[in-house]
Chains A and B, each alone.
Chain A
């Protein structure tokens, strides 16, 4: 391993600048990951063009956002994992402060208080999507793996505090995903299987407890999942129409921009949370399987990078970022196909909107940084 690395290092030095892989290396870019991300983004832009009703202006704005997100990825990729680790507690702390600020002074939009205006308008919860797994990884970096009970308790606090703050906004979907990203770190760190089973068992009473805390609209979403036809023009509408869109796509779809469900506006939120249904309707099973394969490739590459990572922090962080990305994909596709209740989770890299995409790309930047800075790290 060491040998092959050295060999590659030497051989790459010998290669001329014309070598594309070498250029990427110099820029701290992981070629396969970049390729996967770009392919998903490209397919996403194709679907989005149809989903925004062939509105060039909206589509170009998404291209611009994607470019900005890619730029963020490039910048983050230049920051060494060491640097990231050192700054992790401060980033986490800043995120917490901002979350508290949101709850006290934040702007209200669509019944929830999620936005903060500090010169630029953004959602501090986005920071936490990366800050929570980073903090968990940071905490475990120097500690015994698998973590002991005391460490677990502290990790639970690290995860619970931002999760609860975000749940208060209320943004239950994001809160659960952030909790998941933290939990993934602990699981990857070797949380005992017995404890995991115990936690899973606790999930049942936990879910019941959660039910009592849920807002009416959130409860409605669960009820809707169980019986979407109970109110076909009301709460069950999204799911019914989404299933019709996907189902009527068949194997090969109705053709790009020919999705009647999407274009005649039967499909709600067709360019955001339900864009997967547009893909399913217009490009069929072939289209959705292609996209899922690309996602699987990106997740797989991320996990490969994690396995290759030289230290605890990088390893746990890379694993969490990759698996959380998978969770995003799963939750969105399962929601759109009517397997789980409707939670406001966009389809990563495809749905319209910029905030979450920047966070995702920053995550891929971290993965690239971990991969490309590997050999430079002293052990």
Chain B
């Protein structure tokens, strides 16, 4: 021991110690007081605030997608429905050996071996409890296959979901369109909050145009979660007293189309193996009865989802199955415009019932040696308006066209709806083209090109040259002839049904501007001639009009795809299939009380009367109850 250290004074040392204990205790009590004050602050004064915050922690609101409305045809047959499909899912945190699991799933054929790296990446990137979809649609066989093997795949399971299904697939694809996976662009366009739980949206056709009706309103569901966002079993709901009530989604409305499935299937079959389009409608309401574009595609592929390469195959197909020819396909209308042109000529006084010409097989403008040829090289001989329509004499119309001029042609054809969109309720229409001087001035930059030439009027008179029309426009035009000038906006959707109340809202036809004639008799002249086309002795389409139980009217058209030089003969045998003429036909029936108007276009079909007219006949037969597959 340190000898220098003083003797310890135990008493004073203890007094000092007691003093220090008192000092430290005081500090300690003060510190504890701070903690207690803090606790009182948190638990008494801020209690409400923290209680609310802890509630917010507890549950998460999850969007519940509404069930999409169904689409029916005019007789209540389902064209678009929602079917449960099973998808294969993997929950990463429940899988012990991810590589091995994926490899074995590939061996079972449930996933593609080439997808393994992608699925592995997907499984390892998200939250461990969040299911990863391995396969969007399992076949029944695959489900059965997997069900047996399930115990060997912990963490892998199948889960039902609703998938849009089109039972008639390709046959109705261009009319009702399809739904596809919701994209960023879709969300920018749509009300994102209403689509919070939705995976698909309408992309084309009725599915797209009536998206707001079909979709419905999103619902919400409270999910009890822990801090990791993981959903907890429902008994965890006992942990708290009251949650805001769940909001049930409002299902989308059902949409009833004016489309007649039987007619649609028949029209589809008629265009089997061909490229073309058919539009059939009710001239007295504008209700579309059939709208077919061939070739078509399976809309179910979009609903289920396809790989990029699968889509590329579809998109790059030379036959263009995704292209809706019925509303977007533009074709030179050819002779199908003759009835409308005849109206124009009659109204402008360029012709009358008695006016005849001598057709020698060609037409020449004054001061020109260029021969505008008739389809019949030897000529029709002496022709009046009736014959000019029924036998489709080009020369007669060349002369009429030049007489009334391009601007009158444009004006009258426009009144029939050519060269402008009709306002079809699924949109996507091409407006076609009816040329005029004004149009040409605006369409070309070169002053030389801006000039309108008489020769262009000549070929426009038979629906060639610049003139382009869509099958829908031709159907609208012939419908306007059938009703003698009363026009309706074509539409596919006839009624919308509230799924919950069952209340149906009918969509009333929209009347468009009538084609008003100075002389109503002019309708009779043209319709008579169109009747002759199909059921007269020398009509161009008399073969198609044979043995009918009703009277009908029509007009064929055969439009050139390529121009043929002056002295060349058109030989369909030798020409490339793709360069053959388009076959067109427009018709309506019955003659006195028209119920159906049809436009048929068969691309490179060579002859309107031989190829397109029989199809139109078949459709009218079926709709009017005289076909083999007569509807009702």
| Structural contact, B8 and A246, CB atoms closer than 8 A | no
| Structural contact, A330 and B13, CB atoms closer than 8 A | no
**Is A182 an interface residue when CB atoms closer than 8 A count as contact?**
no
Within 8 A of A (CB), among B375-419: none
Partner of B42, one of A246, A296, A303, A316: A246
**Is A146 an interface residue when CB atoms closer than 8 A count as contact?**
yes
**Is A224 an interface residue when CB atoms closer than 8 A count as contact?**
no
**Is B58 an interface residue when CB atoms closer than 8 A count as contact?**
yes
**Is A12 an interface residue when CB atoms closer than 8 A count as contact?**
no
Q: Which residues of B contact A326 (CB under 8 A)?
A: 28
**Is B57 an interface residue when CB atoms closer than 8 A count as contact?**
yes
Given A143-B2, A260-B239, A312-B13, check contact A248 B24 (CB 8 Å): no
| Structural contact, A187 and B20, CB atoms closer than 8 A | yes
Given A264-B58, A264-B226, check contact A247 B51 (CB 8 Å): yes
Q: Which residues of B contact A162 (CB under 8 A)?
A: none
Given A250-B43, A264-B227, check contact A244 B35 (CB 8 Å): no
Best-surrounded residue of A247, A258, A265, A267 (most CB of chain B within 10 A): A247
| Structural contact, A243 and B50, CB atoms closer than 8 A | yes
Given A248-B54, A307-B18, check contact A263 B46 (CB 8 Å): no
The residue of chain A having its C-beta at the shortest distance from the C-beta of B1 within the complex is: A142
Partner of A333, one of B1, B35, B46, B51: B35
Q: Tell me how many residue pairs across A and B have CB atoms closer than 8 Å.
A: 143
A87 vs B173: C-alpha distance in the bound complex, in angstroms?
Answer: 94
| Structural contact, B43 and A190, CB atoms closer than 8 A | no
Q: Is the interface of A mostly helix, strand, loop or mixed?
A: helix
The residue of chain A having its C-beta at the shortest distance from the C-beta of B240 within the complex is: A260
Query: Could you tell me how many residues of chain B have their Cβ less than 8 Å away from some Cβ of chain A?
Result: 45
| Structural contact, B20 and A334, CB atoms closer than 8 A | no
**Is A21 an interface residue when CB atoms closer than 8 A count as contact?**
no
| Structural contact, A303 and B25, CB atoms closer than 8 A | yes
Report A338-367 CB contacts with B as 1/0, cut-off 8 Å.
110000000000000000000000000000
| Structural contact, A315 and B28, CB atoms closer than 8 A | no
Q: Is the interface of B mostly helix, strand, loop or mixed?
A: helix
Q: How far is the CB of B35 from chain A (nearest CB, A)?
A: 5
Q: How far is the CB of A237 from chain B (nearest CB, A)?
A: 9
Within 8 A of B (CB), among A51-84: none
A75 vs B38: C-alpha distance in the bound complex, in angstroms?
Answer: 39
Interface pick from A96-104, A204-212, A280-288:
A280-288
Q: How far is the CB of A238 from chain B (nearest CB, A)?
A: 11
Given A260-B240, A264-B57, check contact A188 B21 (CB 8 Å): yes
| Structural contact, A265 and B227, CB atoms closer than 8 A | yes
Q: Which residues of B contact A306 (CB under 8 A)?
A: 17, 21
**Is A370 an interface residue when CB atoms closer than 8 A count as contact?**
no
| Structural contact, A248 and B28, CB atoms closer than 8 A | no
Q: Which residues of B contact A303 (CB under 8 A)?
A: 21, 25
Given A266-B226, A339-B34, check contact A184 B24 (CB 8 Å): yes
The residue of chain A having its C-beta at the shortest distance from the C-beta of B7 within the complex is: A144
Q: Which residues of B contact A190 (CB under 8 A)?
A: 13, 16-17, 20
Report B220-251 CB contacts with A as 1/0, cut-off 8 Å.
00001111100010001001100000000000
Closest 9 CB pairs of A and B: A247-B50, A248-B54, A264-B226, A247-B42, A266-B227, A265-B226, A248-B50, A285-B43, A248-B51
New contact pairs (17) apart from A244-B50, A323-B24, CB-CB < 8 Å? A144-B6, A144-B8, A145-B13, A146-B16, A184-B24, A187-B24, A190-B17, A241-B57, A246-B43, A246-B50, A249-B43, A292-B32, A296-B32, A306-B17, A316-B17, A330-B32, A337-B39
> Which A residues are within 8 Å of any B CB, using their own CB?
142-146, 184, 187-190, 241, 243-251, 258, 260-261, 263-267, 280-281, 284-285, 288-289, 292, 296, 299, 303, 306-307, 312, 315-316, 319, 323, 326, 330, 333-334, 337-339
Question: What are 7 A-B pairs with beta-carbon distances under 8 A?
Answer: A143-B5, A187-B24, A243-B42, A261-B54, A296-B32, A312-B8, A319-B21
